[in-house]
Amino acid sequence: MQTFIKNESGFTFIEVMTAFMIISIASVGLMMGAAHAQGELRSLELRERATEELLNYTEYWRGRIADGKLSQSEMVGNLEGETVYLRGSLTAQNKVVAKVYYDITHLDNDTEFGKTSFNRFQLETWIKWSDFIPKGKSKSVAQRERRLETVMATFN
């Protein structure tokens, strides 16, 4: 009796399918990681831009307070906010809109160290924005906010 040993080279169907599944799962993981990283970078970019806008806005109002020529309506503050664009412009299709606010409080001359001979003002500014571009008429729910607060003295 003769026995023949059949030796075939190559991969079986099960081996090919197993390799395909492993590569597919790894690819999905890489794609999800890349998408997450892109979203985080975009969020960081918008936060940086919002901080720049807030610093500029704060410096503007510090200059106005130092000038000493604020009207009564300006002293009340702006709690409705002014619109700024962190990305895009008014007519751009993809834009990120933010609102900047300010509030000025005239502090009295009595401090814990006694009476002062100068006027003191507390300036609070803040900005609110969303990291996402709204699609259609729906608005994004996730709101971000940055705040700055300072006390200024103006001399008569």
The domain limits of the chain are: 13-154
Q: Please determine, for residue 105, whether its predicted confidence score (pLDDT) is greater than 80.
A: yes
Question: Mind listing the pLDDT tens digit for each residue in 73-87?
Answer: 888 888 899 999 998
Cβ-contact 53, 100 below 8 angstroms = yes
Those residues whose C-beta lies under 8 Å from the C-beta of residue 108, and which sit 6 or more positions away, are 120
Those residues whose C-beta lies under 8 Å from the C-beta of residue 154, and which sit 6 or more positions away, are 65, 66, 68, 118, 119, 120, 121
Average pLDDT over residues 101-121: 83
pTM of this prediction exceeds 0.85:
no
